[in-house]
Amino acid sequence: MLKWIKLISPADILTLLNGIIGFIAITYIIDGNFLFASFLIFVSILMDRLDGFIARRYLSKHTKGRYLDSISDTVSFCFAPALLIYNSFFNPQLGPLYSLLVTVSSVLIFTFGLMRLVRFSRKGYLLKNFSGVPTPATAFFSIVISLLFGKAQVLNGYNLPVISFQPLIALPLIIFISFMMLVNIEFPKMRLRMRYIFSIAFVSSIYCGIMYYLYSIGNSSWYLMLTGLVYLMLGIILAYLIIGPVYLKLTKKKPYEYKVKKSRFLRR
């Protein structure tokens, strides 16, 4: 055991934190606090980006990092989003067919997420770009859909989510994004530098701190800030899912074509 501890690298610690934070998010989902659970899943996404950077910068002493990463991603980006979707939209009063739709949506996002991680662990990490939507992007998408269309939470007299309870819009989108994890469409890898990751984390912390302060003193501005943040997240994920593959298609270098000139000595 001590030998294994000596082999743990800084990237492994961040990977473990990713899984731990994902597990804590699951406990908040069970308690019905979807807003804070969504925040924790977002933190796990940042951890996932950061551990990749650390792993590339400081080489690990072992070769099992991608397996540990896949296990942590299973907790944070497969199980936690699936449970978030299920708890956010399940309502037994809407009938058995609706309950079946919610169950199928959450099972698909979990199952296809596992299949996506297995494919990535085998050879996907060697590719220049992602083949299919990566699991962190799917988790990000699930957060936005849950906050926009999931069950309302009453916080300081305000009902969440931002729009209203619209499962017939949200659940087909969840099924669609689940299948998109297994397609062969290329999506860009977001290799953010450490300063960018820390900048995003710092700005997000300040923004969330201001929201919490306004919420604690009963100022309604916190709700407007939350609304703007959710719509910003929606714009970011839609831009990645739509513009990302188009950008790769337009910038992909075509193989050099050798043009053979026809000689006048060739027979016609």
Q: How far apart are CA 246 and CA 121, in angstroms?
A: 25
pTM score, two decimals? 0.84
Kindly report the CA angle at 75 between 56 and 182, in degrees rounded to 5? 75
C-alpha distance from residue 5 to each of 47, 59, 62, 80, 139 (Å): 20, 16, 11, 27, 30
Per-residue pLDDT of the chain (268 residues; tens, 9 = 90+): 555 555 667 777 888 888 999 999 999 999 888 888 999 999 998 888 777 667 666 655 555 666 788 888 899 999 999 999 999 998 888 889 999 999 999 999 999 999 998 887 776 566 778 888 999 999 999 999 998 888 877 666 666 766 778 888 899 999 999 999 998 888 888 766 666 777 877 888 898 889 888 888 888 888 888 888 889 999 999 999 999 888 888 887 654 444 444 444 344 3
| Domain range summary for the chain, segments of one domain joined by + | 7-251
Cα 262 to Cα 175, 266, 268: the distances in Å are 54, 7, 10
Whether the CB-CB separation of 104 and 161 falls below 8 Å is answered with no
Sign for the CA dihedral angle at 105, 165, 146, 179 comes to positive
Residue type, 40: L
CATH architecture of the domain 7-251 equals: Up-down Bundle (1.20)
